[in-house]
Chains A and B, each alone.
Chain A
């Protein structure tokens, strides 16, 4: 059993929900020393793709302490809404994980309503999640290259992101899957021929021939502990992955990739391997629009899927088609904890590379559904 994370007031594990909060180790902030000062970064500093605020206690180059400062909290109350209306908001919690959020939410609702989804809908969900993973991992690579000012390879990778976005748009009608998933069905139509021209991985591996780039990542942000999830866990040798450890979609025979060093370079390499394995999976799948009948009932459901940054879970209580309660466990929360703890004691210039390597989205980190 492993702890996945805090879901509302309870703790989600791979064996189910525990009736108590997850145990957490809190590190103490060190006192200011002679010559140390707090440097505030953001929320409007250029560089990060989203508004982001960090406080760094430093004596110049060292990161004696780093903390996250909330600035972008969005209140999106979902209780009291019909499922059909709530999904419009759920898919806008984090557009970049739009498929993962909407699919986890819908599976939780289906479990609450005790309905089995149609097989075609299930395979469409797997296709969507793998397309989303490819897009996200390439975007992480782009952001890392951009942080290193390696602009030609950075924009070459961005061209691949655009290519994936176009494929998603053609398959599901929208580049971020909005409106693609609804209660009782999906509109995506995907076939392997849509991957023609996806030859970008051959060049992507070449970025690792660049010493300057590798040096920025190697040994940066080392973290190895059981609270890690997603690519960060797999980069530290722990094969945690909701695609094979009790998640809610059938990935038969799936084996996660893993590395050992637990640094930013390993996190990137895990992602690059995963792009290849997702493309391989996609090259054998096809989907078409499909729907099934959903009954009305009162109940509670929990669902967990592997988003590109790790476990993403929803807990819902429904009455008929009305939501009584919705809790979300976005992967960015665990990744933020890991980023902060792995950055403490580092040097200042390591921070952007370490931040990007965790694939954190502030939009889902700061969302408040209550």
Chain B
């Protein structure tokens, strides 16, 4: 039996709206005062998702709502509406962001139906997607990748490490167009960010 038919028989379905399926990370609701946050993601009663590593220490003062963490999308480009080619660069990650990114292409999420593709070279990329804290050995390769990309190009940061340094180091110094919070971000959060960047939603 062909693999296509096997897939059909197993009943793996692509989900219409990619679902968020873990309590952490999810959008947090501030219910009370909390002062022991390891990343200072809570300041003056306000929660900054990009700094949060979703360590659960602030529960029950901050409560996970189960809703997908909202990405910050500063730009939209209709040029990318049909297809967005993404070149991922791990500048010092723990591997968690990498696997969640890979899972965007599992049948459940199937990011390709939204015209989102991974490419193996920056020359073919519209978006440079960075994950991890900035380590010395990756600084040169990151600059080379950015320089090699054709215009127009956008930079997407996924995960607390790339967004703010999280608990492990410093973030890469780049002008980011999209920031996806989470540690790691869920595939649902990443898809939402990339679709908004494309102008789909």
Contacts and interface: CB of A to CB of B under 8 A. Distances in A.
Given A49-B95, A74-B169, A173-B56, A158 B141 contact: no
B95 A94 contact: yes
A361 B95 contact: yes
B138 A156 contact: no
A46 to B, nearest CB: 2
A122 interface: no
Contacts of A95: 94-97, 99, 184
Interface in B16-48: 21-25, 38
A162 interface: yes
A296 interface: no
A107 to B, nearest CB: 21
Contact of B141 (A43, A76, A162): A43
Given A72-B135, A156-B3, A203-B10, A44 B24 contact: no
A170 B20 CA distance: 11
A364 to B, nearest CB: 8
Contacts of A43: 137-138, 141
Contacts of A272: none
Contacts of B94: 92-95, 363
A73 interface: yes
B114 interface: no
A43 B135 CA distance: 13
A173 B100 CA distance: 16
Contacts of B166: 92
Interface in A341-368: 361-363
Nearest to A45: B120
B22 A152 contact: no
Contacts of A200: 10
Contacts of B108: 159, 162
Interface of A: 43-47, 49-51, 70-76, 85, 88-89, 92-96, 98, 139, 152-153, 155-156, 158-159, 161-162, 165-166, 168-170, 173-176, 178-179, 187, 199-200, 203, 206, 361-363
12 contacts: A50-B98, A51-B138, A71-B137, A75-B169, A95-B99, A96-B96, A152-B4, A156-B6, A156-B7, A161-B106, A179-B55, A203-B10
